[in-house]
């Protein structure tokens, strides 16, 4: 025992050491629990928040889909319609007929194309200068512009077609005037599109020297009337070309009235859109289409639209009149796709925009001539007429007016 320091030894010491260790472990566990409780608020998970809505500045580069933006949806609609119209145009051009480079009728099977020859009398190009002028005016048919240009002979005289210029109207005894006031509009359309001052001056000098559009006065097609005088000079002034001026016509006693009667044109125009029929109404429509392209137009845009609306209300099946009244709307493009001939009509015989619906087609749908008819039935009757007689170029013209275009939002 002399070596004993007084500290307990043996099992008792080991037991005491274990108790201390347990006590220390418990103390450290209690401390950890206290710390965990103290830190719990800062360790609690935050709730997941939905992403914030983008501010306008963050959204500037986002491209909206059609369903999110009505304006974009309309643009996409126009693009798809234009694609379909161009495909349709290609099919129509393939079966439409041209005689010596001029848009022409072909009243029957393709075997009749042999009639377009020199020397030969061919009736299908009698109105070609008008049709070519309209096609030229769209800016999409340079061949049609060239056809009008080649319908003038060296003396400045204009003819019904490029072929008839070469054959002198298939012989001077041909029972149809070599030109007319209707055909003159084709030349005016060409001039407004091309600004061909050289052709304009030669033509003006010829008219002045002849006292009319041509020397074939037997059916009065070539005499210059008040509206003709004003209209031709209005276009010539627009081009800064030489005006027509003469002191004799087929009606010499009336010549002083011609320039003065131009003042009556506006009143006459309003009457024309309200009362004219068939090709006379179509000529009024052409005059409306030309007017904004003139130097000092006769009408403001509101007045032109009002008169065009009258045309369309009277002939709601006429897509040309709808274009003048409403512009190149998506609805018009859809109607073109619906009404245009899907294949070659048996008779390529009519520029349908200048014709009334034939009685035979009205009767198919229980319709009669005159106002108050069912618009849907009228469209069906017009479609029947188109499928039988459209010359094709009429639809090329209306497609060229609208394709790639949208209505003016103003």
Domain ranges of the chain: 73-96+329-410, 129-315
Task: Give me the percent of the chain exceeding a pLDDT of 70.
Answer: 77
Checking if the pLDDT of 198 tops 50, the result is: yes
- Residue-wise pLDDT for 153-181, tens only, equals 999 999 999 999 999 988 866 778 999 99
Let me know: does 305 contact 273? Beta carbons within 8 Å: no
Burial class of 405 by CB neighbour count within 10 A (0 to 12, 13 to 18, 19+): middle
Give the model's pLDDT for residue 270: 84
Over residues 374-394, the mean pLDDT reads 97
Give the model's pLDDT for residue 175: 75
Checking if the pLDDT of 55 tops 70, the result is: no
368 band by pLDDT with thresholds 50, 70 and 90: very high
Let me know: does 376 contact 76? Beta carbons within 8 Å: no
Q: Of 19-28, 51-60, 112-121, where does mean pLDDT reach its minimum?
A: 51-60
306 band by pLDDT with thresholds 50, 70 and 90: very high
- Residue-wise pLDDT for 225-278, tens only, equals 888 899 999 999 999 999 998 755 444 444 444 444 444 554 588 889 998 899
Q: What is the spatial distance between Cα 241 and Cα 63, in angstroms, rounded to a whole number?
A: 51
97: β partners: 104
- A 10 A CB-CB count for 165 gives 21
128: β partners: none
Task: Say whether 238 sits in a helix, a strand or coil.
Answer: helix
- Residue-wise pLDDT for 210-225, tens only, equals 889 998 866 788 988 8
Instruction: Tell me which of 176 and 8 has the higher pLDDT.
Output: 176
Residues in CB range of 172: below 8 A, 6 or more apart? 178
- A 10 A CB-CB count for 146 gives 17
Give the model's pLDDT for residue 122: 87
H or E segment and range at residue 98: strand 97-99
Q: What is the spatial distance between Cα 210 and Cα 225, in angstroms, rounded to a whole number?
A: 14
Q: What is the spatial distance between Cα 232 and Cα 227, in angstroms, rounded to a whole number?
A: 8
For residue 16, how far is the Cα from the chain centroid? 106
What's the pTM?
A: 0.80
CA dihedral 21, 24, 25, 30 (to 10 degrees): 160
Let me know: does 100 contact 162? Beta carbons within 8 Å: yes
Q: How do the residues of the chain divide into helix, strand and coil, expressed in percent and rounded to 5?
A: 60, 5, 40
For residue 110, how far is the Cα from the chain centroid? 30
Checking if the pLDDT of 7 tops 90, the result is: no
Task: Give me the percent of the chain exceeding a pLDDT of 90.
Answer: 65
Give the model's pLDDT for residue 250: 45
Checking if the pLDDT of 39 tops 70, the result is: no
């Amino acid at each position: 025992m002399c070596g004993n320091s007084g500290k307990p030894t043996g099992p008792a010491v080991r037991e005491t050491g274990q108790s201390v260790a347990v006590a220390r472990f418990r103390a450290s566990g209690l401390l950890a629990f206290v710390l965990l409780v103290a830190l719990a608020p800062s360790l609690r998970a935050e709730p997941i928040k939905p992403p914030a809505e983008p501010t306008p500045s963050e959204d500037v580069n986002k491209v909206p889909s059609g369903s999110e933006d009505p304006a974009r949806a309309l643009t996409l609609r126009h693009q798809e319609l234009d694609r379909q119209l161009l495909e349709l145009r290609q099919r129509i051009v393939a079966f439409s007929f041209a005689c010596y480079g001029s848009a022409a009728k072909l009243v029957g099977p393709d075997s009749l194309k042999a009639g377009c020859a020199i020397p030969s009398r061919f009736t299908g190009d009698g109105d070609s200068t008008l049709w070519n002028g309209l096609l030229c005016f769209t800016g999409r048919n340079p061949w049609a512009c060239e056809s009008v240009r080649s319908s003038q002979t060296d003396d400045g005289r204009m003819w019904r077609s490029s072929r008839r210029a070469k054959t002198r109207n298939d012989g001077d005894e041909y029972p149809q005037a070599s030109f007319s006031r209707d055909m003159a509009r084709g030349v005016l359309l060409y001039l407004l599109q091309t600004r061909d001052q050289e052709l304009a001056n030669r033509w003006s000098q010829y008219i002045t020297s002849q006292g009319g559009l041509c020397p074939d006065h037997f059916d009065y097609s070539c005499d210059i009337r008040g509206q003709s005088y004003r209209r031709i000079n209005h276009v010539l002034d627009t081009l800064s070309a030489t005006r027509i001026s003469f002191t004799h016509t087929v009606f010499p006693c009336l010549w002083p009235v011609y320039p003065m009667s131009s003042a009556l044109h506006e009143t006459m125009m309003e009457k024309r859109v309200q009362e004219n029929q068939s090709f006379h109404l179509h000529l009024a429509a052409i005059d409306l289409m030309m007017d904004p392209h003139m130097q000092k137009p006769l009408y403001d845009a509101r007045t032109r639209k009002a008169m065009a609306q009258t045309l369309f209300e009277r002939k709601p099946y006429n897509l040309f009149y709808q274009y003048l009244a409403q512009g190149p709307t998506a609805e018009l493009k859809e109607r073109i796709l619906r009404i245009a001939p899907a294949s070659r009509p048996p008779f390529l015989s009519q520029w349908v925009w200048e014709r009334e619906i034939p009685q035979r087609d009205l009767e198919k749908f229980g319709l009669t001539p005159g106002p108050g008819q069912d618009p849907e039935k009228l469209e069906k009757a017009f479609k029947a007429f188109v499928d039988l007689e459209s010359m094709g170029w009429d639809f090329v013209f209306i497609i060229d007016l609208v394709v790639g275009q949208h209505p003016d939002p103003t």
